[in-house]
């Protein structure tokens, strides 16, 4: 529903920009009026990036209906009230007035299951505690699925990965139970409990599971790095036989040092999620199905809250990159992991539409025979954070702003649930000069001519940066 | 991208030889340089532009020099190279040499077989020009249907010169149109009548280049006289009138300093449009010179006359458009696009610079 209040709020946001927190959220849907889109696009173009998150209703509501079905709360979330959802935190969709779902209760690093599948349940590297300086040997942390060196086929590897994923989800749920229990016993929130329907009726505090709706959440961290790593294992070891499993594991333990050719193949030759490549996106889909279905299986024992999946990665995709061993996608230890549902840095070389299509497919795509809501499917009711970087030349005149508007409408059809818009600026281009590998997707576009920024010479790069600094596109 | 076997065909401009049937069946294939998705510069709306390889002209300023030859070519992208020399060992012709100064490709020996690109672990060796089957290409471009529908966009066949591969391109556009996708043909106009006749019925829009009106000067700069191009333009006009369906026509002129970007030339083109095309042309785009392709020439081992040519200033662009508009019955059809030279005073345009702080929220 868009009305005068919508525009008044947007005006306030515009006046207060830059607002870092809280991040305002604008909901868009297939039938959003042109005027709203015009306002949104004009704000994006004047601020060189979106001063708000965009939430897309159709796929978001599909997620809400899926959680209703999975948790057996269809009397509370159904077709006739699902439009009444709201985003909490940043993009975590919840119902209004009776819903106290967690936003970021758990951050589960999905990539760990790949590591455990490679090692048969052991940590790949010894761990050094930075505070004490004490190093512990690699320990058994997951089930013994056998050393991957012995696997004869991709299917065997996938089965080990499945088992390790089931294990890390269970482990995460068990750990969370302790804090849930502690909060329920020792940390009541009576004021909040008075405001949320269900608590008074049941005589239970929110922390005890009093709200009518209250999901606990697991956020999947580093989805794309996980998918790309699986794709690389399949490509390098089984499909192309570029190396043996033992060689790959050795390279990872050595942090790729001395294995640069294999690393280059992993980075550049293996398929990647985010390119609208059906083979790669099928892997994304399989990974998504596996971990989300596993998540739905659990309910907190102490408070009876069903777990639901989401992806916003918080900041863990940065920090975990320094803890996690090198990954089969070519990433060395110490390099950032992928963020939320976004493709790995620089992997989306086919542009924004391909990137958005991959994200939509990873969430389930569409099912003409119904889906969760009006044909849309959504595996992540707790939201899926997606950031796309655009070239500001796309917003340079009314004709191009209309094209950008159409992109947003296309995103509502094919894309995910929540989008942040970033604009290329001079700082980003300077960073791309220093780290070309992370910016292979960066396209410079000037009238009928385009080039990848990192594939042009230094001198011209400097010229483009100068141009960008002067807003001269 | 999918790649079949590599074809060794004559260098350029020989119509129809670009398209062939493969040995295993009757599948049409074409040599495609690049597929650009979310293109916003090649016609209305959001488009997927397919760059077909091979062109009959060889314009001195060409921004896609890798599109001129119909043959697949290899190039080396230095900042991707890890120096493993896998390509050097794999090259069956011994055409590659890697040393401290970089990669040397002996273009006299290189057959464009693409083996170096196949084995390169880091994609530093790149094969320009890949074989695409019709069905695969149609499936590929259809992926952005949702964005086309929302924007009034579609497919643009560009190049190179797409009519060089006319049998494929006409089938390609026909299939796209049958699937309800808007189609555009981006042509330099240097095409055989037969090729144009094959492709035009399947286009909803023609983007037609008019570069230089003086025919001798045209030959000096592009390698060919312009008579055939002008005749073809009139043919498109007549086809549009006689086709009984909507067909749009846009003219495009690259503004190249010292070559096309003179008041005399633009006045002459405007005069031709006024005299022959009034009411038939919806838009005339004057595309400002840019130098982003400098490295492409270097990588292909080619000299480029415009190596050090500065970009046009905003005021000279305005002046050129003004001169062009004077001659037109409907001046509003002419507009310049692209990037002017960076001028110091432009810094003041950047009024909301502080807003750069608003980056994607790192937490979610």
* pLDDT for position B12: 39
- Structure confidence at residue A129 as a pLDDT band (50, 70, 90): confident
Interchain CB contact of A254 with B (< 8 Å): no
Contact A351 B146 (CB under 8 A): no
Question: Residue B5 pLDDT more than 70?
Answer: no
Would the pLDDT of B4 be above 50?
Answer: no
Q: Which residue of B has its CA nearest to A348?
A: B37
Residue A312 has a pLDDT of: 86
Residue A100's pLDDT band (boundaries 50, 70, 90)? very high
With CA atoms as reference, report the closest residue to A205 among A215, A195, A216: A195
Residue of B293, B339, B356 lying closest to A48 (CB–CB): B356
Average pLDDT value over all residues in chain B: 87
The verdict on B1 touching A (C-beta cutoff 8 Å) is: no
In percent, the amount of chain A with pLDDT more than 90 equals 74
Q: Looking at A207-216, A342-351, B103-112, B349-358, which range is the least confident one?
A: B349-358
- Adjacent-strand bridge partners of A99: A213
Instruction: State mean pLDDT over A453-470.
Output: 74
What Cα–Cα distance (Å) separates residue A268 from each residue in A225, A235, A284? Answer: 14, 11, 18
Lowest mean pLDDT among B13-17, B273-277, B323-327: B13-17
Average pLDDT value over all residues in chain A: 92
Residues of chain A with C-beta less than 8 angstroms from the C-beta of B45: 403, 406
Which pLDDT does position B205 carry in this prediction? 98
Q: Which helix (H) or strand (E) holds A92?
A: strand A92-94
**pTM of the predicted structure, to 2 decimals:** 0.91
DSSP secondary structure string, A204-231?
Answer: --GGGT-SSB--EEEEEE-HHHHHHHHH
pLDDT of residue B18: 39
Letter string b/e over residues A122-151, b meaning 16 or more CB atoms within 10 A of that residue's CB? bbbbeeeeeeeeeeeeeeebbeebebbbeb
pLDDT of residue B210: 97
Q: State how beta strands B130-133 and B28-39 pair.
A: antiparallel
Rounded to an integer, the average pLDDT of B141-149 is: 98
Distance CA A166, CA A160 (A): 10
CB contact under 8 A, B46 and A406: yes
pLDDT, tens digit, for every residue of B24-44?
456 899 999 999 999 998 999
Instruction: Give chain A positions within 8 Å (CB) of B46.
Output: 353, 403, 406-407, 410
Is the pLDDT at A441 greater than 90, yes or no? no
Half-sphere exposure of A353 (CA within 13 A, CB side): 28
Specify the higher pLDDT residue, A435 or B344: A435
Q: How many residues comprise chain A?
A: 473
Residue A48 has a pLDDT of 65
Tell if the CB–CB gap between A50 and B121 is shorter than 8 Å: no
Q: What per-residue confidence (pLDDT) applies to A415?
A: 97
Residue B356 has pLDDT above 60, yes or no: no
Cα B293 to Cα A2: distance, rounded to the nearest angstrom: 46
Cα(A375)–Cα(A58) distance, integer angstroms = 9
Q: Percent of chain B having pLDDT more than 90?
A: 77
ipTM: 0.92
Question: For residue B213, is pLDDT > 60?
Answer: yes
What are the pLDDT digits (tens) for A267-282? 999 999 999 999 999 9
Q: Which residues in chain B are closer than 8 Å to A400, comparing Cβ atoms?
A: 40
Is the pLDDT reported for residue A389 higher than 90?
no
Predicted pLDDT of residue B222: 97
pLDDT attached to residue A450: 60
Average pLDDT over residues B143-170: 97
Looking at residue B107, its pLDDT comes to 93
The structural domains of chain B, ordered by start, are 29-67+130-337 (3.20.20.70), 73-128 (3.30.70.20)
Provide, as residue numbers in chain B, all residues whose Cβ is less than 8 Å from the Cβ of A311: none
pLDDT score of A51 more than 60: yes
pLDDT at B185: 98
């Amino acid at each position: 529903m868009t009305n005068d209040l919508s525009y008044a709020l947007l005006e306030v946001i515009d006046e207060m920009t830059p607002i870092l927190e809280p991040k305002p959220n604008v909901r868009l849907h297939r039938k959003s009026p042109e005027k709203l889109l015009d306002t949104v696009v004009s704000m994006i173009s004047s601020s060189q990036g979106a001063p708000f998150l965009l939430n897309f209703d159709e796929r978001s509501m599909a997620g809400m209906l899926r959680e209703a079905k999975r948790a057996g709360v269809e009397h509370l979330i159904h077709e006739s009230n699902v439009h009444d959802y709201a985003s909490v935190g940043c993009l975590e969709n919840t119902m209004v007035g009776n819903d106290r779902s967690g936003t970021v209760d758990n951050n589960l690093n999905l990539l760990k299951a790949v590591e455990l599948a490679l090692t048969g349940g052991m940590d790949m590297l010894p761990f050094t505690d930075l505070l004490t300086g004490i190093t512990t040997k690699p320990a058994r942390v997951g089930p013994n699925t056998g050393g991957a060196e012995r696997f004869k086929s991709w299917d065997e590897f996938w089965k080990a990965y499945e088992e390790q994923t089931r294990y890390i989800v269970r482990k995460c749920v068990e750990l969370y139970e302790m804090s849930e229990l502690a909060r329920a016993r020792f940390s009541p929130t009576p004021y909040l409990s008075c405001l949320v329907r269900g608590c008074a009726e049941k005589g239970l505090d929110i922390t005890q599971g009093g709200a009518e709706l209250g999901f606990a959440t697991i956020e999947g961290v580093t989805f794309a790095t996980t998918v790309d790593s699986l794709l690389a294992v399949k490509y390098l070891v089984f499909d192309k036989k570029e190396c043996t499993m033992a060689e790959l594991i050795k390279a990872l333990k050595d942090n790729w040092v001395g294995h640069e050719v294999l690393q280059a193949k992993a980075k550049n030759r293996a398929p990647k999620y985010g390119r609208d490549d059906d083979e790669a996106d099928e892997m994304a889909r399989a990974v998504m199905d596996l971990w989300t279905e596993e998540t739905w299986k659990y309910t907190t024992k102490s408070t009876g809250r069903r777990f639901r999946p989401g992806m916003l990665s918080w900041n863990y995709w940065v920090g975990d990159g320094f803890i996690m061993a090198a990954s089969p996608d070519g990433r060395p230890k110490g390099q950032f992991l992928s963020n939320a549902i976004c493709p790995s840095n620089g992997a989306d070389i086919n542009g924004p539409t391909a990137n958005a299509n991959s994200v939509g497919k990873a969430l389930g795509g569409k099912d003409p025979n119904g889906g969760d809501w009006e044909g849309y499917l959504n595996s992540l009711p707790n939201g899926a954070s997606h950031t796309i970087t655009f070239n500001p030349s796309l917003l340079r005149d009314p004709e191009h702003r209309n094209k950008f508007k159409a992109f947003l409408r296309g995103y509502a059809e094919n894309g995910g649930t929540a989008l942040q818009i970033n604009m290329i600026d001079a700082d980003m281009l300077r960073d791309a000069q220093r780290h070309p590998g992370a910016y292979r997707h960066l396209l410079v576009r000037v009238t009928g001519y385009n080039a990848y920024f990192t594939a042009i010479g230094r001198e011209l790069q400097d010229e483009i940066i100068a141009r960008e600094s002067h807003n001269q596109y | 991208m999918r790649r079949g076997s590599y074809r060794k065909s004559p260098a350029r401009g020989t119509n129809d030889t670009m398209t062939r049937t493969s040995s295993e069946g009757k599948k049409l294939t074409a040599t495609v340089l690049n597929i650009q998705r979310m293109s916003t510069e090649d016609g209305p709306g959001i488009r997927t532009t397919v760059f077909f390889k091979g062109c009959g002209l060889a314009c001195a300023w060409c921004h896609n020099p890798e599109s001129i030859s119909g043959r697949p070519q290899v190039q080396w992208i230095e900042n991707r190279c890890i120096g493993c020399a896998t390509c050097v060992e794999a090259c069956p012709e011994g055409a590659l040499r890697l040393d401290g100064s970089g990669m040397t490709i002996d273009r006299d020996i290189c057959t464009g077989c693409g083996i170096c690109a196949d084995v390169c672990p880091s994609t530093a060796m790149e094969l320009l020009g890949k074989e695409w089957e019709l069905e695969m290409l149609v499936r590929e471009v259809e992926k952005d249907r949702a964005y086309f529908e929302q924007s009034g966009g579609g497919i643009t066949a560009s190049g190179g010169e797409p009519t060089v591969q006319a049998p494929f391109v006409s089938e390609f556009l026909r299939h796209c149109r049958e699937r309800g996708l808007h189609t555009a043909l981006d042509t330099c106009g240097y095409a055989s009548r037969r090729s144009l006749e094959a492709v035009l019925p399947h286009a909803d829009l023609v983007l037609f280049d008019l570069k230089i009106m003086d025919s001798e000067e045209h030959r000096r700069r592009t390698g060919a006289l312009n008579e055939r191009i002008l005749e073809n333009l009139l043919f498109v006009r007549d086809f549009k009138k006689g086709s009984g369906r909507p067909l749009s026509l846009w003219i495009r002129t690259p503004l190249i300093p010292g070559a096309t970007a003179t008041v005399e030339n633009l006045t002459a083109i405007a005069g031709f449009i006024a005299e022959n095309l009034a009411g038939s042309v919806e838009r005339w785009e004057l595309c400002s010179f840019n130098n982003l392709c400098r490295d492409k020439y270097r990588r292909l081992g080619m000299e480029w006359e415009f190596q050090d040519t500065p970009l046009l200033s905003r005021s000279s662009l305005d002046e050129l458009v003004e001169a062009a508009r004077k001659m037109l019955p409907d001046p509003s059809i002419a507009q310049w696009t692209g990037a002017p030279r960076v001028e110091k005073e432009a810094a003041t345009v950047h009024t909301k610079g502080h807003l750069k702080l608003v980056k994607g929220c790192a937490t979610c």
